[in-house]
Amino acid sequence: MSQNRWLATGNFFTSYKQEQRTFFTHLDRTIFTCFLVILFGWPLVFEISNKYMLVLDNILIAIVAVMGLNLLLGFAGLISIGHAAFVGIGAYSVASVCQVIGENHVIVTHFWPVLIVCAGIMGAIFGAFVGLPALRLKHLYLAIATLSFQMIFEWFIQFMSFFNQGQTIYVGRVHWFTGQVGRSDHYLFWYYIILTLVVVLGFGVRNLLKTKYGRCLVAVRDNDRAADAMGMNPGLTKVYAFALAGFFAGVAGALHAYLYRGVGFESFTLHASVGYLAMAIVGGLGTLNGIFWGPVAIKFLDIQVEQFSEFVGQYLTSAPNVATALKPLSFGLVIVLFLMYEPRGIANWWRIVKSYTKLWPFRY
């Protein structure tokens, strides 16, 4: 690598350790730090309405969920059409505690970080269990196995009275050092909590991919027989990939439960699973920054289409019918267009922009 640690004009690595740096240059680190400062600082400067704060919180939760899905889909090369069910497992883990000990019990309101981690572990356990068919199944067959898990999850929730048959199970307001987090601070509070988790988990994924466990995922994705010949255990790796994805999903589910102060079955349906898949594809499979781009793009598109439908509604009497068509149409169209023209997702645009700015004014 160049002696100048601020700018990199090419690949000058001389050791594996150098190649495994989180930030290649000081400039990268500085930009990232500034970006984090802005992300954490702007709510203190600009007041934002609850509606937009809720949208932002939602995007961040989706990022946590897509992190898990991308590990499974992008890095391990396995497929899951039941990711929303894993998110649901996390949410219903919190809801189950509320059902047993009460929504305002001190464990729910004060020890919520523990509950969030426990929800992640529950997700991981279920993930590992559902991952067992991955030992024998591949591609379409594995997709159907995960789809069946989604169906079983929905059936269970809808028919068990313990889970209120899918209707809302309430979750109490949490406490912080300053006391109970009230309604006025609720969304801002969770913004900071989820953002912190996104950063921590993001670094977790980044570092995981440097370890032998992370490399195992990629090796099994590229060729599981070759990985086996090299001494890895493809079966175990696949189960472990499902467990990892389940953990992230479980954490996302618990965050969803706390953010919405309740758990209802509608948020974890097959439709939501398809949404997570779309986010992973649009963001860019097998890339770290794609995890962030996908949820932002899909959620942003959703709201823009909604506003566009309302705008159209001012001029057309059949506005509701336009809205019916526009949402699924735009959603499907975006996925199809990305699969056709940019299968590497938005992350590839980011890569192009980055390499262009690094090499500028030279083209090569």
Partner 1 sequence: MKSKATLFFNAFLVIVFVLAFTLPASAGKTYKLGMSLAITGPTSDAGNPYAKGAEDWFKFVNETDYLGDGDKIDCPIRDDQYKNDTTKRFFEEFLDDGILIFLSYATGGNLALKRDFEEVQIPVIPASYHEGLIVDANYTFMPVATYSENAVGLAEYITENHQGDNIPQVAFFIHPSAFGRGPLEDTQKAIAEGMKIEIVEVVEHGTDLDNTAMLQRLVSKGVQYVICQTVQTPVATMLTDAQRLGVTAGSFGEKGKLTFLGAHYTGGSDLIALAGTATEGYIWADSYNLTSENNEGAKKQLELAKRYDRDDKAANSHNYGAGILAAQIATEAIKMAKSADLKVTRENLYKMLQKMNFNSFVAAGPVTYSETERIGVDVQNIYIAQDGVFKKIQSFESQYIQKVRAGR
**Measured from the CB of residue 254, what is the shortest distance to partner 1 in angstroms?**
16
Q: Which residue's CB is nearer to partner 1, number 79 or number 305?
A: 305
Q: Using the rule CB under 8 A, is 287 a contact of partner 1?
A: no
Selected from 5, 327, 351, 358, the binder of partner 1 by CB under 8 A is 327
Q: Using the rule CB under 8 A, is 96 a contact of partner 1?
A: no
Q: Which residue's CB is nearer to partner 1, number 159 or number 162?
A: 159
**Measured from the CB of residue 306, what is the shortest distance to partner 1 in angstroms?**
8
Single out the residue of 261, 274, 211, 242 nearest to residue 76, CA to CA.
242
Site for partner 1 in 58-87 (CB under 8 A): 58
Q: Using the rule CB under 8 A, is 260 a contact of partner 1?
A: yes
Site for partner 1 in 43-62 (CB under 8 A): 49-51, 54-55, 58
Site for partner 1 in 155-174 (CB under 8 A): 158-159, 164-168, 170
Q: Using the rule CB under 8 A, is 317 a contact of partner 1?
A: yes
Selected from 74, 127, 234, 262, the binder of partner 1 by CB under 8 A is 262
Q: Using the rule CB under 8 A, is 332 a contact of partner 1?
A: no
Q: Using the rule CB under 8 A, is 180 a contact of partner 1?
A: no
Q: Using the rule CB under 8 A, is 323 a contact of partner 1?
A: yes
Q: Using the rule CB under 8 A, is 41 a contact of partner 1?
A: no
Selected from 93, 109, 146, 309, the binder of partner 1 by CB under 8 A is 309
| Interface size with partner 1, residues (CB under 8 A) | 29
Q: Using the rule CB under 8 A, is 314 a contact of partner 1?
A: no
Please give the residue ranges that form the binding site for partner 1 (CB under 8 A).
Answer: 49-51, 54-55, 58, 158-159, 164-168, 170, 183, 260-262, 264, 266-267, 309-310, 317, 320-321, 323-324, 327
